[in-house]
Structure 1
Amino acid sequence: MKMVSVEIKVKKEKKTKVFAGSKVVKHKKNKPKKSVAEKALKPKNYVQNPTPAPIIKKKKKYIMPTKSVTNDVVNSCLTAILQLSILHKKKNTILDDESPIFCEISCIKIQSVQTNIKFVLPNSTAASTGEICLIVPDMKKGRRFDHEPTIDHWEELLRKSGVTQVKTILPLRQVKVEYDQFELKRKLLTQHDFIMVDTRILSHASHLLGKMFFKKHNMLIPVRLHGQRDLKKAIEVGLRTVVLRLNIGITSTILLGHTGMPLDTLQENVISFVDQLRTRYPGGEANIRSLALCIPMSIAVPLYLTLRSSNTVNAPKIKKNKPKTFNTIEDELSTIPGSKVTVAPDGTVHVIKPNTQKRKINTVIKEDEEIESENEYSEDKDAAEDDQSE
């Protein structure tokens, strides 16, 4: 075999000499030119795979009502309300009475239980032309005894202490005898603008008068008269107390004054009420969505508003203070064997049924159904045999 020699030529790269002060020029490869649309879509500083920046959540700080409700804000709101009351009086010239000023409170989360909260304001909310009633306990209990000696006794005590605001005194016996019908109770409600009750007979009076006395503001306000040396101070505190009735809904209203009061006294009442909301309102001031001032049949003037999320607020739970004699009674129920019944002092009844009883009832029902199905099957079988014999 002959060997064949093949010459392979290899192109050598030319080495360029670089001299001092000279520039090296690199040859660019021929790349396809971009269209005008691609240039318009991609900006100059475009990066193909940009690294995402870390997301930092800033904590939002919401201002509480005690800090946002200042003297200037309250003054501006009250001046607007007074102007609204003047316009309302011009439209209704027959009614020249002092119109009450309310505060509307809307919460973020509703409380678990319906309760009443007392607030003591620096100034009285009773109108100058309004009549004030005081319900007092009887000196001698029973319907046979006359109630006039108790009225004379309390009138002397109030006269000695220098109390002039109370116009009428009602013993508990008079409430039982004379205000036993619905129309008479409503008449008592309309005649008086402010009703105070001694703490010793508050539960009895509220049971006799009914629910409609709780719907109106400043009705059945408790006053501690037992063991008080200074009756004037106790009644003045009662006239300065207001009750906030928390309902099932979000909003609730409370009376803070009337249009006949000067602007300074109204301002003091509003600011003291907002300060007390921090400790007395269920859930604290963080649970308050908005505050507004208004008069009857008018637009509410906003005093405070927040956009706080409901997730940041816990649902308020209120525990009622039970008296010492509040004991539930538990016993067996004779009508349902094996079950128990519990009766509370307020009249609520709960029946506790055992789970075993439910199982027994279910088994009895199933056995009855099986017996009925067997009887039906036997009847069908007998009918079929009779047909065949015929």
Structure 2
Amino acid sequence: MSISERELYNAVLKAIHEMRKISPKRNFTEAVEVQIALKDYDLTKPENRFRARITLPYSIAKKDKIAVFADDPHIPPLRELAEKKEITLIDKAGIEELKSNIRKMKKIARRHRIFVSSATLMGIIGRYFGRLLSPRNKMPIPVGITDDIVKAIDMAKRTVLVRLHKSPTVHAKVGSIDMPDEQLAENIVAFVMDIKNRLPKGWRNIRNIVVKTTMGPPIKVELEAKKRR
């Protein structure tokens, strides 16, 4: 059984059109989510569980919530982003403050979708904040001290974190309702293909795929007619 990316794209695009038809309009910008239900997949085997960072073609949202732990060499290029409130910038002094204010760090962990960090700070981040970030699958994306951290943040805006552990379902926010249908479809296809390629039986391990807005009903991506044997 095989499904091409083009077949998947067309099926996803139809599901997005249906999602827009039946999802009530809200007075806020809803996220768009994709859910992949698995079958014949034994999660009692540790090798079948995984965490992954998946980079999509387009940013997840126009206004994302990204926190950056930055060492001194990375601070200058980040000041403008912080002033525009595009990121929450946490320097070494800020880290020291958070080490003694875990309640504040918990709020930061809840409010931010993804974290980025200078690689030189990863040890201290793991030591003091790992127990807060790791269970949420939010350990920072490390950036080498000589690497372009602004470029890394741009990539983080297109990155989703997924975890397959107890439930045979993989889900993630892959965009927002104000994105063009074609961009949403490309993000969903990239996400599904990445997950499919991680499964030992590929498509045969996928029971179904649905897309939905934050508060809208799930819309199944109809692939049956596209399957080849």
Q: Smaller-chain TM-score range? A: 0.7 to 0.9
Give 1:186's aligned residue. Answer: 106
Point out where structure 1 has 5 or more consecutive residues left out of the alignment.
1-62, 138-149, 307-390
The structure with the largest alpha-carbon Rg is: 1
Which of 91, 110, 116 aligns to 2:51? It is 116
Q: In structure 2, do the counterparts of structure 1 residues 232 and 155 end up closer, same or farther at CA, with 3 Å as the change threshold?
A: same
For residue 70 of structure 2, the aligned residue among 116, 131, 136 is 136
TM-score, with structure 1 as normaliser: 0.48
Answer whether contact 1:66 1:274 (CA < 8 A) is retained: no
Letter paired with 1:197:
S
User: Helix, strand or coil: the match of 2:221?
Assistant: strand
Local SS of the residue matching 1:155: helix
- Kindly state the Cα deviation for residue 193 of structure 1 after the two structures are TM-superposed: 4.0
1:185-241 Cα offsets, whole Å, 9 max, x none, are 332134434432344544642453355545657x4441423332x443332222222
Q: Does 1:298 align with 2:216?
A: yes
Q: What do residues 23-64 of structure 1 show as CA deviations (whole Å, max 9, x unaligned)?
A: xxxxxxxxxxxxxxxxxxxxxxxxxxxxxxxxxxxxxxxx43
Q: Deviations over 1:317-346 (max 9, x none)?
A: xxxxxxxxxxxxxxxxxxxxxxxxxxxxxx
Aligned counterpart for 2:31 among listed residues 94, 100, 117: 100
Number of the residue aligned with 2:227: none
Q: Greater share of strand residues, 1 or 2? A: 2
What value does the CA root-mean-square deviation take over the aligned residues? 3.3
Q: CA deviation at 1:245?
A: 0.7
Provide the secondary structure at the position in 2 that maps to 1:249.
Answer: coil
Cα deviation for residue 269 of structure 1 reads 0.9
Q: 1:287 to 1:100 in 2, by over 3 A?
A: same
Which residue pairs with 2:171 in the alignment?
A: 253
| TM-score (norm: length of structure 2) | 0.76
Distance in 2 separating the partners of 1:199 and 1:120? 19
Residue identity in the other structure for 2:210? A
Relative distance call for 1:302 and 1:208 in structure 2 (3 A) is farther
Distance in 1 between the 2:132 and 2:184 partners? Answer: 28
For the residues of structure 1 that align with 2:181 and 2:111, how far apart are their CA atoms? 28
In structure 1, how many angstroms separate the alpha carbons of the residues matched to 2:102 and 2:201? 38
Alignment partner, residue 145 of structure 2: 226
Report the count of equivalent residues: 219
User: Residues 169 and 99 from structure 1, CA distance in 2 versus in 1: closer, same or farther, beyond 3 angstroms?
Assistant: same
1:5-20 to 2 correspondence within 5 Å? none
Cα deviation 1:156-211 (Å, max 9, x = unaligned)? 134699x9774321135533532545532332134434432344544642453355
The match for 2:17 among 56, 61, 79 is: 79
Native 8 Å contact 1:99 1:295 kept in 2: yes
Q: Distance in 2 between matches of 1:68 and 1:167?
A: 35
Structure in which a larger fraction of residues adopt helix:
2
Work out whether residues 133 and 166 of structure 1, in 8 Å CA contact, stay in contact via their aligned partners in 2. Answer: no
Secondary structure class of the residue paired with 1:129: coil
d(CA) in 1 for partners of 2:112, 2:135 = 14
SS in 2 for 1:70: helix
Please say if residues 68 and 90 of structure 2, whose CA atoms lie closer than 8 Å, have aligned partners that are also in contact. yes
Task: Find the aligned partners of 2:133 and 2:182 in 1 and give their Cα distance.
Answer: 31
Amino-acid identity (%): 18
SS in 1 for 2:52: strand
- Structure 2 distance, partners of 1:290, 1:81, is 16
The reply on whether 1:279 has 2:214 as its aligned counterpart is no
Residue type of the alignment partner of 1:178:
L
Q: Separation in 2 of the partners of 1:278 and 1:107?
A: 10
- Structure 2: which 5+ runs fail to align? 225-229
